[in-house]
Amino acid sequence: MRKTIIFLLIITPLIANSQNSYIGVKGGFNLGNIIETGELNDNSFKLGYTSGISYSYLLNDYLSISTDLLFLQRGFYNNNFICVYYHGLVVEKKQFSQTNDYFSLPIKFGYYTDNIFVNMGIIPSYFLNSVVEMPSFDDIMDMEYDLFIPDYDPTINEFKNIDLAGLFEIGSAFKLSERSLIFTSFIYHHSFTNAAQNHFSKSEIIHYGLLWSIGLKYSL
């Protein structure tokens, strides 16, 4: 009997606290770009996608902590990687794109009300893979054209395994039932760390972007 009472005293607070815990799934899109100090200037945003699971815990009536485990694509377009010259004049700029895949673990702390939440935090990410799309040269094979191609092979892994970014998130949530809700948010993220390595050791490549997601959460 005494053991039963002790067990109930231990487990009851855990059950009560679990009502403040939410687990869910989410997915969306990341509009990514880079800040670069070397050859890859004139970059523009590239759309990638993200998906994963989320967990949040309500500390009290206003504050919460949360984390996600995400597959996250960060990419960019470079708009003048290859310049096409004709008699010394630039007649065309060839564009290439690069998409880097990461496992990301956003860790967030913030404020919430019934329908609105605001978070700040960090995003540690682990580099998985890189996909490059190079331009076609079929339309410029005329010998009168000259090409300028920087000393860079984007098909080589030029990115470090670990990236660390800061984030700011704002979103809204609406109850579907007593224990489930739908939510959506925008996250602005900006890396603290230089992603470049090897060839780019004298340059800096900083990821940044805007991530939109939508998902469902369920109270434990």
- What are the structure tokens assigned to 97, written together? 């794109």
Tens of pLDDT along 140-198? 544 444 444 444 555 454 678 899 999 999 999 999 998 999 999 999 999 999 887 65
CA dist 123 and 160 (Å) reads: 15
Q: Write the CA distances from 202 to 36, 147, 196, integer angstroms.
A: 11, 25, 8
CA dist 97 and 117 (Å) reads: 34
- What are the structure tokens assigned to 123, written together? 């995003």
**Who wins on pLDDT, 89 or 30?**
30
CA dist 100 and 56 (Å) reads: 27
Residue 55 confidence (pLDDT) = 96
Residue 127 has pLDDT above 50, yes or no: yes
| Contact yes or no for 167/122 (Cβ under 8 A) | yes
| Contact yes or no for 70/104 (Cβ under 8 A) | yes
CA dist 162 and 217 (Å) reads: 29
Q: Which residue has the tokens 């919430």?
A: 112
CA dist 113 and 165 (Å) reads: 26
Residue 203 confidence (pLDDT) = 65
**Who wins on pLDDT, 191 or 8?**
191
Query: Which residues have CB under 8 Å from 177's CB, separation 6+?
Result: none
One-letter-per-residue 3-state SS of 102-138: EEECCEEEEEECCCEEEEEEEEEEEEEEEEEECCCCH
pTM: 0.79
Residue 84 has pLDDT above 60, yes or no: no
Tally the C-alpha atoms within 13 A of residue 77's C-alpha that lie toward its C-beta. 12
Query: Structural domains in the chain?
Result: 21-79+96-135+154-219 (2.40.160.20)
In 3-state terms the chain splits into helix, strand, coil percentages (rounded to 5) of: 10, 65, 25
121: amino acid identity, one letter: G
pLDDT confidence of 8, banded at 50, 70, 90?
very low
Tens of pLDDT along 18-74? 568 999 999 999 999 988 766 666 788 999 999 999 999 999 999 999 999 999 999
